[in-house]
């Protein structure tokens, strides 16, 4: 068996609705020399049958299964299984531009240790919310020097590509971080070299109102404070123990309504007619969300 040039690592938990689109975007890559390590993290929906069907169709797919252990542990296992010298991340429900792997791989050279790209954020229905762009040098400076409230990471966790040697030298994903596990890794990688973020939109991320980033922002900020404290010389053992006590929040109507309202505001900025639908969904989840009511009634 020949060694692939890139190992794409993707953890999936109950991701059946968006999984097919994700897999098709990966199998359509112009750089075909890769393996996809898909970790089914104890899904209870149709995820496993979809992954199994695609594995039978394409030998580049390696399917790992486990009882539900959470994203961080799944990524640790996936990266440990990677056979290629380069690892690319991908999230279920997201899509990669056909040239993503090829273009990112070309940039992962010299003193560059981490590559991302501009990222399109879209609703589950595909409507554009916003595009995130960031200069690689600015991301590098921020990761090494900014405080928790102002630190800038790469545009999206799933858009990352890095060498396996860099991953190991940085210490890999750390199990105690159930949230912000990506920023924790990027901070340590930033001490080893530069970051490249081309302005091309090579990755499309689907925003869900029930995602960790939508409902666990306070926990993420708390985790970022711990990451920054360790970066700046704090007691790693005590700070990692504190990180282990942080858990993603459970979904709630109030938090989902807040996320839906945010998405509606983004859609309105894009002049999308879908904004009204998201305002109504926010109100259905939380009838007391006065900002959603005000935006719906005033059209602003």
145 confidence band (pLDDT: 50, 70, 90): very high
pLDDT of residue 247: 84
Is pLDDT at 78 greater than 90 in this prediction? yes
> What tens digit of pLDDT does each residue of 229-268 get?
999 999 999 999 999 999 877 778 888 999 999 999 999 9
- Using only C-alpha atoms, the chain has a radius of gyration, in whole angstroms, of 19
Contact status, residue 232 vs residue 123, Cβ threshold 8 Å: no
Is pLDDT at 165 greater than 90 in this prediction? yes
Is pLDDT at 212 greater than 70 in this prediction? no
Q: Is the dihedral of CA 164, 165, 170, 176 positive or negative?
A: positive
CATH 3.90.550.10 fits 6-244, yes or no: yes
N- to C-terminal Cα distance for the chain? 58
Contact status, residue 38 vs residue 67, Cβ threshold 8 Å: no
**Mean pLDDT, the chain, integer:** 95
Cα torsion at 102, 103, 106, 111 (round to 10°)?
A: -130
Contact status, residue 132 vs residue 119, Cβ threshold 8 Å: yes
- Six token digits for residue 103: 């273009």
For the chain, what are the domain ranges?
Answer: 6-244, 253-298
pLDDT of residue 215: 61
Percent of the chain at pLDDT above 90? 92
214 confidence band (pLDDT: 50, 70, 90): low
Is pLDDT at 300 greater than 90 in this prediction? no
């Amino acid at each position: 068996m020949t060694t692939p040039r890139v190992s794409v690592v993707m953890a999936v938990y109950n991701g059946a609705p968006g999984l097919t689109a994700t897999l098709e975007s990966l199998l359509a890559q112009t750089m075909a020399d890769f393996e996809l390590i898909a970790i089914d993290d104890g899904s209870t929906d149709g995820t496993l049958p979809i992954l199994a069907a695609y594995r039978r169709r394409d030998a580049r797919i390696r399917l790992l299964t486990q009882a539900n252990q959470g994203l961080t542990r799944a990524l640790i296992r996936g990266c440990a299984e990677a056979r290629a010298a380069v690892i690319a991340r991908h999230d279920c429900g997201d899509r990669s531009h056909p040239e993503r792997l090829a273009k990112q791989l070309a940039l992962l050279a010299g003193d560059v240790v981490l590559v991302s790209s501009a990222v399109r954020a879209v609703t589950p229905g595909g409507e554009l919310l916003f595009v995130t762009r960031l200069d690689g040098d600015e991301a590098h400076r921020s990761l090494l020097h900014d405080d928790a409230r102002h630190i800038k990471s790469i545009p999206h966790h799933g858009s990352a590509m890095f060498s396996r040697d860099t991953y190991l030298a940085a210490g890999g994903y750390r199990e105690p971080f159930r949230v912000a596990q990506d920023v924790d890794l990027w901070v340590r990688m930033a001490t080893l070299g530069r970051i490249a973020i081309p302005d091309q939109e090579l990755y499309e991320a689907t925003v869900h109102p029930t995602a960790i980033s939508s409902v666990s922002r306070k926990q993420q900020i708390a985790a970022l404070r711990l990451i920054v404290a360790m970066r700046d010389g704090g007691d790693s053992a005590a700070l990692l123990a504190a990180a282990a006590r942080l858990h993603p929040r459970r979904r709630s109507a109030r938090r989902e309504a807040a996320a839906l309202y945010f998405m509606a505001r983004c859609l309105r900025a894009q002049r999308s007619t879908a904004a009204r639908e998201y305002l109504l969904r926010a109100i259905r989840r939380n009838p007391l969300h006065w900002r959603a009511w005000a935006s719906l009634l005033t059209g602003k």
